[in-house]
Chains A and B, each alone.
Chain A
Amino acid sequence: MNSQSILMAKITYLSGNSESDLDTEMTSYVADNPVLAKEIQFVESFWQQPSEIVLEQPSEELDQRFYQMLDQAKVAQKSLSTADKKKQSLNVLHWLTNVLAPKPFTQFASLALVFAIGFNMNNHQIPSNNQSLDGLQKQVESLSSLVALSMINNGSTSERLTGVSYSLQTNEQNEQLNLALMKLLNNDRSSAVRLSVIDALSARTSVKAFEAELLDSIDKQIHPVVQIGLIKLLVNKGSNTSLSKLKVKSANNQLSIEAREFIDQLLAQRYI
């Protein structure tokens, strides 16, 4: 029994996939572990949110207003046509103009105008819906961060790998999670977990906040594949300063033979 298994048991219960809540042993474990208790409390509060987001519905008068405006547009169009007919009788030139006038375009333009007004009236409530969705998304991100952190701190290699994978669904600015990822990158006993951290960082839009740490991390890696993974990440997303420092490391034989060869290859291909 560990924090992760208790958290998962709680989530399973809250999501209705299990009929039994935490047993006595788990409850006493939670009582002795304030951090876990806080996580459980968060998970409970998350699940106690309304199960469905109440979206503000369009006004019931929407249809009525729409058809009212449509009628008004038709009336206006008819009066325009009548006026045209009167003018048509006045001279042949006007008659020809009327015959050649693009009536379908006029009708289409009127309808498009009515549609645009109706659409705008109906959609003025969207910002509040977006706010609800943003809030929900933040809560989901926060929950994903908790699950990711809990798994990353687990003893099993597979759980740590899964935790890194979960981190892809979280807010990139989460400092606690970023710290945990860097710790894994530098200290995890499994190269697979270290490589998965590099994969996760590669999926981010920027690694600017980590550049110095990633450069330092290269020196801490025993396995050439991890060194090469870090070099690829820095060449793809790093600054010119980092690339210069990489070249210095390579020139000073601070890297494995394989990593140095890779840098030479990138230099020859003018990627650096």
Chain B
Amino acid sequence: MKKLFVLVLISFAFVASPLKAKNYSVNLTNAAEHASIDIIVRNGSVSVVGYDGDTVEISSDITAAKTYGNHSSVKQFTLDDADVEIKELNNSVKIISLSVNYVVNLVIKVPQQSDLEIWVEKGGGILISNVQGQLGMSAGTGAIKATDISGPIVAETQAKNIHVDFAALHQNKPSYLVSHSGNIEIDISAKVKSNVEIDTLKGEIFSGNEDEFKKQSKSNNSMENEYGLLVLPFNGGGQKLSIHTYSGDVYIRNKLTK
């Protein structure tokens, strides 16, 4: 009984406690220029917060992705490298974790104007806050939540939700949000000029804007009319914000302007 208790404790320790928890600080080659940060995580999650500093601060937390059988009397040989690889060259920072057997959760502080490319294959998804650069991200099986951003943003999930709270909308470059069956929710100021274009086959649309959606197609093709894009011009229209789902619902909420 005592042996079993010890075994349970060891197993619990492998599951719950971090194998490695490390902090890294990356100096940029030119702190005056904005940084491009590429993050690839095969199994885990990424949280990024923009701040006033000029270094990239990374905290990694690595835990085993699965529980093992009785291995108290044997040595573990692993081919799966749980380390996080970090490189910087001319303000381009690459943070890569290709581990599958370990869950790698990253919390990263970046200069506010940084451009981000984030690719998470499976796990807990992506959280972004207060970053004003270009954002490209795919969360695989996880969800995406971005707050206080101005885009342009390109975001993609499979079955989990995408929630974007826009502080403003970049007027020179388009944004695109795609989910197969996850809901897409945007909070946007009623003062923002935009053309919100929605394409959903089985999803429902909920909008807090008083303007009516219009079919983009003006042709006589009834198939194009039925399955074409719906367009909602905010304040007379502006930069394109495309939303595309298969069965996920779409929520557009007007933010109260300060």
A residues sitting closer than 8 Å to B (CB atoms) are 1, 155-159, 161-162, 165, 189-193, 195-196, 199, 223-225, 228-229, 232, 235-236, 258, 262, 266, 269, 271
Contacts and interface: CB of A to CB of B under 8 A. Distances in A.
B223 A158 contact: no
Q: How large is the interface on B (under 10, 10 to 19, 20 to 34, 35 or more residues)?
A: 35 or more
Given A228-B246, A258-B246, A236 B154 contact: no
A228 B224 CA distance: 13
A3 to B, nearest CB: 14
Given A162-B174, A224-B180, A156 B115 contact: yes
Nearest to B179: A225
List of 9 A-B pairs having minimum Cβ-Cβ separation, nearest first: A157-B136, A192-B176, A158-B134, A271-B223, A162-B173, A157-B154, A158-B152, A192-B154, A192-B178
Given A158-B173, A161-B152, A190-B154, A196 B242 contact: yes
A225 B172 CA distance: 26
Contacts of B156: 190-192
Interface in B113-135: 115, 117, 119, 134-135
16 contacts: A156-B136, A158-B134, A158-B173, A161-B152, A161-B154, A162-B173, A192-B155, A192-B176, A192-B244, A195-B178, A196-B242, A199-B242, A223-B180, A225-B178, A225-B244, A262-B201
Nearest to B248: A225
Contacts of B172: 162
A253 to B, nearest CB: 19
Contacts of A1: 90
Given A156-B134, A158-B135, A162-B173, A225 B180 contact: yes
B242 to A, nearest CB: 7
Interface residues of A: mostly helix, strand, loop or mixed?
helix
Interface string B218-232: 000111101101000
Contacts of B63: none
Nearest to B173: A162
B173 A235 contact: no
Interface string B189-227: 000000000010100000000000000000001111011
- Most chain-B CB neighbours within 10 Å: which of A161, A162, A223? A161
Contact of A193 (B137, B154, B226): B154
Contacts of B117: 155-157
A26 B242 CA distance: 35
Given A156-B115, A195-B244, A232-B227, 6 more contacts: A158-B173, A162-B172, A165-B174, A190-B138, A196-B176, A269-B223
A161 B137 CA distance: 13
B240 interface: yes
Contact of A236 (B174, B177, B178, B223): B223
